[in-house]
Chain A
Amino acid sequence: MSSGSSPRERLSEEKLARAALTYLAEPGDPALGALLAICSPAEVLAAIKADMLPGTGPGCGDTPASRAALGRALGRWRARLPTLPHEERLAGTSRDGIRLSCPGDADWPGALDQLGQGRPYALWLRGHTDLRFACSRSVSMVGSRAATSYGGHVAGEIAADLGERGWTVVSGGAYGIDAAAHRGALAAEAVTIAVLACGVDYPYPAGHADLFAAIAGQGLVISEWPPGRRPARTRFLVRNRVIAALGCGTVIVEAGERSGALNTARHAATLGKPLMAVPGPVTSAQSAGCHRILRDWAASCVTRAADIIELLSPLTVPDALAPGGVADALSPGGGPGQRSRPGSDADRPPSRDDLDPDSARVLDALPARGGAGTSTIAVEAGVDLDTVLRCLGRLAGYGFIERCDRGWRLRRS
């Protein structure tokens, strides 16, 4: 079309063509994937517009059967031609903070190339984080939408811990485990990526509109579908391969027997990525899928962020980006907003031996069952009110005790 144009213009022309293709074809369309393997996106787009089968090179429609399939595909794509936005709108990729990333771009994650012909034609991005860098140390974490409080807790905890150690959490933005994983990473002020099965500006589920905005502010909301495209049942399954590909490994936190998370796990296994699962109660139907992949697919059993990092670390750079110990945040400049990963010593839960004498006495003063009021505890422990208040705060912070109807009680752990 524009043989005389500069390389720079050709590139933007290619980007335009890829943007158009995301509108015309469903992501993961094998016919388009095969075509893009041998033709440039601009050629493909021109061919679709001209209703002409592109090239007759090897591998592309060289048998009557595949030519017929290609013809049908052409019809499919042409059907959406009238809905294709004007070129200027396509080009204005920065509108609403949405941009396009194409294979070959500086921020295109190489991990997606492992998908071969199933590689996305392009990705729509919302957020300012560098996608390629974010994916260099990343974990995909998915699970059931109907998560139990156990699953949500574990997912959030692990995601936050991963985030604090500089790992990106990739998930699908759905209710349940996905949301817990995203929120955990956000809480740790870490980058998290939500891979949607609809346009990045289309909040699905609607209740997560705020979550997506928060993710876009701190990480990325990405999609293979162009802005405005609505979600559909099959699209989630197509999307799952991208989640699996973006992470260095995939963790399933809670999944029922027929959960979509198992589909993601399958993609991860196909890609040869480490597959991990968090076990749950054997009686829980919500963890049945996790247990099956542990047994049948030889997934690794993980229970905390350190397990995951240990599994993935040989494949990535050493764990050097992790922040320092407690001393970091408590240096004079360290305000309350700063957080640090607890040092190795603090990794284990505090035991009674770590307590100062006052706190230990207060802890002993709590009744074995039921609760007790603040003054009762103070008298029992033989300390004054200020001391008991401080010790109660410390013990509650460490998780030894909690508030109850009658004051404070020992926490059953």
Chain B
Amino acid sequence: MPLARTYSVALIGVTGHVVEIEADIANGLPAVIVVGLPDTALREARDRIRAAITNSHEEWPQRKITVGLSPASLPKRGSWFDLAIAIGILAAAGKVPRAAAAGVMFFGELGLDGRLRPVCGVLPAVARAAEKGFGTVMVAEQNAAEAALVPGVRVIAVHSLTTAADWLRGLPGPDGQPAAVEYQGGQDLPGRDGRLASGGGAQAAGSGSTMAPDLAELLGQSMARRAAEVCAAGGHHLSLLGPPGAGKTMLAERIPTILPRLDRAAAFEVTAVHSVAGTLPAQVPLLEDPPFLAPHHTATKAAIVGGGSGVIRPGSASLAHRGVLFLDEAPEFARDVLDALRQPLEAGEVVVARSGITTRFPARFTLVLAANPCPCARVAGPSEGCSCSPATRRRYLGRISGPLLDRVDVKIELEPVSRKELLSDRTFSESSLTVARRVAQARQRAAHRLQGTPWRLNGEVPGSALRRTWPPAPGSLTVLERSLDRGLITARGVVKIVRVAWTLADLAGRPRPTRDDCDAALGLWLGVRR
């Protein structure tokens, strides 16, 4: 019976679905028919595969070939299935053992010359294959390190269709060595990946590289540094307001340096998203540092939250999952782009719905907004002061919608630094390493307290739960109440201040916020003129 089966995985968002590929060779006029909801790129596969097989010195069966991809209802896209289809055809023609072909998952795009090219999204696909009980996957060499992240999977790295076929036939390569390189998933890749082998990364925790940015460089902005620490520790969203040159961007770029490294599960989530997006650096199979994304303010909605016709790609919000999404010049972003962030901020994931399919991407990030106080962005001073009217300034900042700002717990105003402040601040500046250590401890404390709840960080806890379950120590709200009476803060502000007070208590190692923590949180909150 000239019918063979191979398997691959179709990705929808970061979720994989096993696809069965059947190749049937029947009598009839020579033709290739691909059935089962393929898109254009996949329909082009038949020409690619034909050229690849011919150029690999294999025989192309001159009969009618039907390739079926099932489940047929699932949209299948791109050049993912090239290798699986090619092997399927060879197996159906009897050139490759059918049983061997059916026991392996294939991922890869074929070049016309028969070379195997890497594809995006290998990590979630291989993880899915492993879940479904496929022990062996065959990928392009460039994808091997990524595929080998999944524990318990045997990864066959091949560089061409010929080596793939030879390996399946059990033949040695041209030089007598085994046709393909094998890796065991979950173990180290010798020679190829020093990072994975040593289990530690380079930049984040401050590994001594003199070029790495450090929080200590932000001299003269002690409040802002403290705010960054609070945001990193509690996952609070942050808003930075200040004239150009005050250090907004500098501060935002240094937040990743004080974030703890991602744990294994989080690193997998992050790597999966980046793998699907194709933004994984070649030498770094597993992203263990929290990502930092700073999209330009001309970014479209699809670029930020994900989308696109045809292939649905994750946006910056998802790429910043478990990391920082920094919107510099936030008022310059299109309003609908900013408002599109409200749902991911609320739900921790992006849902992109298209007519054919609904895709979910994780998107639990720390939002950092930066804005100039006015559109002219001149430093207010005696000589060349800003000429914007109060109405203009108001309108400018009003472009960031209220509901978005409502989710921001920490607002900081950075002022130009005076010489005196620079001198004074030298006493207090701390390196990223010192701060990162405190942050990691605070995160642990919060995670311990929040055990058994859907939240892991203080910034994620809703106000109602905060009030019910975690009130601050008795007597600690005296000053807050007075501020409330005086109209300095609103009831909503109180909730945010208490949330930040919890993080301050975590940072200081106290079991619950005391009056000192609440007052310090109030100081951060009142650090903005209004």
Q: Do A and B come from one complex?
A: yes
Task: Give A379's nearest chain B residue, CB to CB.
Answer: B424
B471 touches A332 (CB 8 A): yes
A339 part of interface (Cβ distance < 8 Å): yes
Per the bound structure, the CA–CA distance linking A397 and B487 in Å amounts to 10
B421 touches A373 (CB 8 A): yes
B522 touches A396 (CB 8 A): yes
A397 touches B480 (CB 8 A): yes
A207 part of interface (Cβ distance < 8 Å): no
Task: Give B530's nearest chain A residue, CB to CB.
Answer: A403
B194 to chain A, nearest CB (A): 39
Per the bound structure, the CA–CA distance linking A333 and B473 in Å amounts to 10
A385 part of interface (Cβ distance < 8 Å): yes
Chain A interface residue count, CB cutoff 8 Å, equals 47
B470-495 interface with A by 8 A CB criterion: 471-472, 474-488, 491, 494-495
Q: Across the interface, which residues of B come within 8 angstroms of A399, CB to CB?
A: 482, 486, 488
CB within 8 Å for A392 and B424 given contacts A386-B508, A397-B482, A405-B380? no
B473 to chain A, nearest CB (A): 9
CB within 8 Å for A326 and B478 given contacts A375-B220, A375-B222? yes
B383 part of interface (Cβ distance < 8 Å): no
A335 touches B421 (CB 8 A): no
CB within 8 Å for A373 and B526 given contacts A398-B479, A407-B415? no
Q: Across the interface, which residues of B come within 8 angstroms of A398, CB to CB?
A: 479, 482
Main secondary structure of the interface of B (DSSP, over half): helix
CB < 8 Å: which of A350, A376, A393 contacts B420? A376
B522 touches A394 (CB 8 A): yes
Per the bound structure, the CA–CA distance linking A267 and B528 in Å amounts to 45
Q: Across the interface, which residues of A come within 8 angstroms of B474, CB to CB?
A: 330-332, 334
B523 part of interface (Cβ distance < 8 Å): yes
Interface centre among B484, B486, B488, B516 (most CB of A within 10 A): B516
Per the bound structure, the CA–CA distance linking A310 and B526 in Å amounts to 35
B492-507 interface with A by 8 A CB criterion: 494-495, 497-498
Q: Across the interface, which residues of A come within 8 angstroms of B491, CB to CB?
A: 187, 336-337
Interface centre among A153, A390, A393 (most CB of B within 10 A): A393
A42 to chain B, nearest CB (A): 48
Chain A 400-413 against B: per-residue CB contact (8 Å), 1 yes, 0 no? 00111111000000
CB < 8 Å: which of A160, A334, A385, A402 contacts B471? A334
A357 to chain B, nearest CB (A): 14
B113-151 interface with A by 8 A CB criterion: none
CB < 8 Å: which of A375, A386, A393, A404 contacts B427? A375
B418 part of interface (Cβ distance < 8 Å): yes
B520 touches A156 (CB 8 A): no
CB < 8 Å: which of A153, A380, A397 contacts B526? A397
Per the bound structure, the CA–CA distance linking A397 and B421 in Å amounts to 23
Interface centre among A374, A402, A406 (most CB of B within 10 A): A374
A303 part of interface (Cβ distance < 8 Å): no
B354 to chain A, nearest CB (A): 37
A346 part of interface (Cβ distance < 8 Å): yes
A243 to chain B, nearest CB (A): 25
Per the bound structure, the CA–CA distance linking A376 and B485 in Å amounts to 30
Q: Across the interface, which residues of A come within 8 angstroms of B519, CB to CB?
A: 390-391, 393-394, 397
A307 part of interface (Cβ distance < 8 Å): no
B214 part of interface (Cβ distance < 8 Å): no
B467 touches A336 (CB 8 A): yes
Q: Across the interface, which residues of B come within 8 angstroms of A372, CB to CB?
A: 420-421
A384 part of interface (Cβ distance < 8 Å): yes
Q: Across the interface, which residues of A come within 8 angstroms of B424, CB to CB?
A: 373, 375-376, 378-380
CB within 8 Å for A326 and B467 given contacts A336-B495, A373-B418? no
B408 to chain A, nearest CB (A): 17
Task: Give B476's nearest chain A residue, CB to CB.
Answer: A330
Q: Across the interface, which residues of A come within 8 angstroms of B526, CB to CB?
A: 392-393, 396-397, 402-403
Per the bound structure, the CA–CA distance linking A406 and B425 in Å amounts to 15
A12-51 interface with B by 8 A CB criterion: none
A329 part of interface (Cβ distance < 8 Å): yes
A112 part of interface (Cβ distance < 8 Å): no
B223 part of interface (Cβ distance < 8 Å): yes
Q: Across the interface, which residues of A come within 8 angstroms of B479, CB to CB?
A: 393-394, 397-398
A397 touches B471 (CB 8 A): no
B468 part of interface (Cβ distance < 8 Å): yes
CB within 8 Å for A373 and B523 given contacts A336-B471, A336-B477, A346-B482? no
A340 part of interface (Cβ distance < 8 Å): yes
A389 part of interface (Cβ distance < 8 Å): yes
B436-477 interface with A by 8 A CB criterion: 466-468, 471-472, 474-477
Task: Give A394's nearest chain B residue, CB to CB.
Answer: B519
B41 part of interface (Cβ distance < 8 Å): no
A403 touches B418 (CB 8 A): no
Chain B interface residue count, CB cutoff 8 Å, equals 55
Q: Across the interface, which residues of A come within 8 angstroms of B487, CB to CB?
A: 153, 156-157
CB within 8 Å for A337 and B522 given contacts A373-B415, A399-B486? no
Per the bound structure, the CA–CA distance linking A14 and B156 in Å amounts to 91
A342 part of interface (Cβ distance < 8 Å): yes
CB < 8 Å: which of B428, B494, B522 contacts A384? B428
Interface centre among A153, A329, A332, A385 (most CB of B within 10 A): A385
B520 touches A386 (CB 8 A): yes
B222 touches A397 (CB 8 A): no
B524 part of interface (Cβ distance < 8 Å): yes
A330 touches B417 (CB 8 A): no
Q: Across the interface, which residues of B come within 8 angstroms of A346, CB to CB?
A: 482
CB < 8 Å: which of B494, B524, B525 contacts A336? B494
CB < 8 Å: which of B468, B481, B516 contacts A390? B516
A376 touches B523 (CB 8 A): no
B520 touches A390 (CB 8 A): yes
A335 touches B482 (CB 8 A): no
B223 touches A330 (CB 8 A): no
Q: Across the interface, which residues of A come within 8 angstroms of B525, CB to CB?
A: 393
Task: Give B427's nearest chain A residue, CB to CB.
Answer: A379
Q: Across the interface, which residues of B come within 8 angstroms of A373, CB to CB?
A: 220, 222, 415, 417-418, 420-421, 424-425
Per the bound structure, the CA–CA distance linking A45 and B518 in Å amounts to 64
CB < 8 Å: which of B428, B481, B527, B528 contacts A339? B481
A382 to chain B, nearest CB (A): 11
Per the bound structure, the CA–CA distance linking A406 and B422 in Å amounts to 13
Task: Give B430's nearest chain A residue, CB to CB.
Answer: A385
Chain A 182-219 against B: per-residue CB contact (8 Å), 1 yes, 0 no? 00000100000000000000000000000000000000
Chain B 388-432 against A: per-residue CB contact (8 Å), 1 yes, 0 no? 000000000000000000000000010101101100110110000
B255 part of interface (Cβ distance < 8 Å): no
Task: Give A189's nearest chain B residue, CB to CB.
Answer: B491
CB < 8 Å: which of B415, B471, B488 contacts A396? B488
Per the bound structure, the CA–CA distance linking A384 and B222 in Å amounts to 11
Q: Across the interface, which residues of A come within 8 angstroms of B522, CB to CB?
A: 393-394, 396-397
B57 part of interface (Cβ distance < 8 Å): no
Q: Across the interface, which residues of B come within 8 angstroms of A393, CB to CB?
A: 479, 518-526
A318-332 interface with B by 8 A CB criterion: 326, 329-332
B481 touches A342 (CB 8 A): yes
A393 to chain B, nearest CB (A): 3
Q: Across the interface, which residues of A come within 8 angstroms of B475, CB to CB?
A: 330
B226 part of interface (Cβ distance < 8 Å): yes
A406 touches B480 (CB 8 A): no
B523 touches A336 (CB 8 A): no
Per the bound structure, the CA–CA distance linking A392 and B516 in Å amounts to 11
Besides the contacts A330-B476, A394-B522, what 5 more A-B pairs have beta carbons closer than 8 Å?
A: A336-B491, A336-B495, A393-B479, A397-B483, A403-B526
Q: 23 A-B residue contacts at CB 8 Å?
A: A153-B487, A160-B485, A330-B474, A335-B466, A336-B495, A373-B222, A375-B421, A376-B418, A379-B424, A386-B520, A390-B516, A390-B517, A391-B519, A393-B479, A393-B519, A393-B521, A393-B522, A393-B524, A394-B479, A397-B479, A397-B519, A406-B418, A407-B421
Shortest 3 CB-CB distances between A and B: which pairs?
A393-B523, A373-B421, A335-B467
